[in-house]
Homo-oligomer: A and B are copies of this chain.
Amino acid sequence: MDDPMPESPTSSNHDPLPSEPRSLASIDSWWGEFDVVVVGFGVAGGAAAIEAVRAGASTLILERATRGGGATALSEGTIYFGGGTRVQKAAGFEDTLENMHAHMKGAAGPTADPEKVRLYCENSLEHFAFFESLGIEFKDTYYDEKVIFPPTDDCLIYSGNEQAYPFSEEATPVPRGHKPKKEGSAGGHIIEKMITTFGALGGTIQNESRVQTLIRSDTGRIVGVIARVEDEDVAIRARRGVVLTTGGFIMNRPMVEQFAPDLADCNYPIGSDGCDGSGIRMGMGVGGAAINMSEGLMTTPFFPPVGHIKGLVVNKHGQRFINEDCYHGRVTDAIKKKAGGTAFLIVDDDTYGQSMGGYKIVAVEETIEDLEKSLGMSEGQLVHTFASYNRFAAEGVDPVFHKAKKYVTPLDHPPFAALDLSVGNSVWAAFTLGGLDTRPTGEVLTVDGQIVEGLYAAGRTSAGLTRSGSHYASGLSIGGSSFFGRMAGRSVAAAD
């Protein structure tokens, strides 16, 4: 080799970085001492802190922004509850904890943590009560349209794959997305109620305080954090433990490229500035195993209008590959992974409508033959797809991909249009679903399954309830993050 080795970057005397812990021995004085220190005030951190302080632990939340919120505050605020909530009953839906579990077992996908899924379902009614205990109200109404979230203050929607094949056959479909009583988005409202509750309980919030790194004792236990408070790096002791709830890493471009290359193609990251993976990196730096790192939720909102669900989503060869009435994220995941990122929504004059995605209409033709030609597809492929679909649609069935009957009608009213749903050519939103491996209690695990003493994680900083973009529902992020945040808060408060 003609000395092909590139120069090493200088690695000595570098600033402490999140992945590298500080040793306890190097700490001279403490800025403060608490039983529990929670890093990041999104819904996971808020839930952990509220449970910890309710259990009697002195609790500090360090939030790097000027106020709590995180990705939760940017979201619509849907929470996935079931098993027969007051709202479900009032709206006339019969659900049981068993039915919810039967659905979630399949709908959370083969890579989900079955123990987390079970606990989440079994405790859903109690978790609903937790949100009510924060002063959050839910209206007893169902919003009867296929939407991303209700624009009104109505509560209940179908927010996942409940009615879509094959999940529709695994459990009785019922809606489980619950939005707090608030017009439009309600994520910020949830956080505000948490801030009020936590303050009233005597918890301490320190805003504009960015955690730099963890502090580790000689025995390997996490005993505190270094945080930048008022422009100074200070050491803060956590007697019982530190809970990392800093969100995922969608805002950290190099980390996305390295760990989740599929998501790197998405042009609309969903998250706050804090979603830069700092919690995951701190955990990795003390031996925590980061798992499921390549996965994320990707979504392009090709509906509403509901008519678009009646259209056909085809790949560049003119083939269908998924039932179009799945959760939008499941269709999008299939576009990326099954269709290689290129897909078109084909609609006729009856089914076309304006959508949020701003999709480019790449072809409009009077016949499918001409549309096929305009799209540069091989002769006869799209024509076959349409002929076959329309033939069965006349009988109201879709024997190949099993789209639900109510969305199956012959597409035979010209002109026909092709909307470009391809990644890179339209809005593709994304967030990460990988993070630290944790027990349901939030305890962070090494790759050998050992606990990192004193360290907990929840929300997107952990590999949580749902782990796959093909198996997701709106409301599982806030639902799962708050539920396992609560468990982490209880665990750490009870730690020695």
Contact = CB atoms under 8 A, between A and B. Distances in A.
Interface of A: 1-2, 4-6, 8-9, 11, 14, 17-20, 110-111, 115, 119, 122-123, 126-127, 220, 254-255, 258-259, 261, 277, 280-281, 284-287, 289-295, 317, 319, 337-338, 378-381, 384, 388, 391, 399-401, 437, 439-441, 443, 446-451, 453, 486-487, 490-491
Given A11-B451, A399-B379, A451-B8, A446 B20 contact: yes
A289 B294 contact: no
A384 B318 CA distance: 13
A13 to B, nearest CB: 11
Contacts of A486: 1
Given A4-B440, A17-B450, A19-B287, 14 more contacts: A1-B486, A5-B440, A19-B447, A19-B448, A254-B449, A284-B287, A285-B447, A287-B287, A290-B447, A291-B293, A319-B319, A378-B388, A379-B399, A381-B400
A450 B281 CA distance: 12
A439 B6 contact: yes
Contacts of A18: 448
A337 B381 CA distance: 22
Given A261-B111, A285-B447, A384 B379 contact: no
Contacts of A5: 440-441, 487, 490-491
Contacts of A286: 287
B115 A1 contact: no
B487 A4 contact: yes
A1 B127 CA distance: 7
A22 to B, nearest CB: 12
Contacts of A487: 1, 4-5
A264 to B, nearest CB: 9
Nearest to A218: B23
A201 B292 CA distance: 44
A111 B263 CA distance: 12
A129 B486 CA distance: 61
A456 B110 CA distance: 35
Contacts of A9: 451
Across the A-B interface, give the 8 residue pairs with the lowest CB-CB distance, nearest first: A17-B448, A11-B451, A294-B294, A378-B399, A378-B400, A384-B384, A19-B448, A19-B446
Contacts of A446: 17, 19-20, 284-285
A258 B293 CA distance: 11
17 contacts: A1-B123, A1-B126, A1-B127, A1-B486, A4-B122, A6-B440, A9-B451, A19-B446, A20-B220, A20-B450, A254-B449, A259-B291, A281-B448, A284-B447, A292-B294, A337-B338, A378-B400
Contact of A2 (B19, B126, B293, B295): B126
A480 to B, nearest CB: 14
B437 A123 contact: no
Contacts of A285: 287, 446-447
A391 B4 CA distance: 52
B110 A20 contact: no
A337 B333 CA distance: 11
Contacts of A448: 17-20, 281
Contacts of A292: 294
Contact of A284 (B6, B258, B289, B440): B289
Contacts of A259: 291
Contacts of A293: 291, 293-294
A223 to B, nearest CB: 16
A34 to B, nearest CB: 22
Most B CB contacts (10 A, CB to CB) among A14, A258, A290, A399 go to A258
Nearest to A281: B447
Nearest to A25: B218
A443 B7 CA distance: 12
Contacts of A254: 449
Contacts of A284: 284, 287, 289, 446-447
A293 B261 CA distance: 12
Nearest to A337: B337
A443 B19 contact: no
A388 B399 contact: no
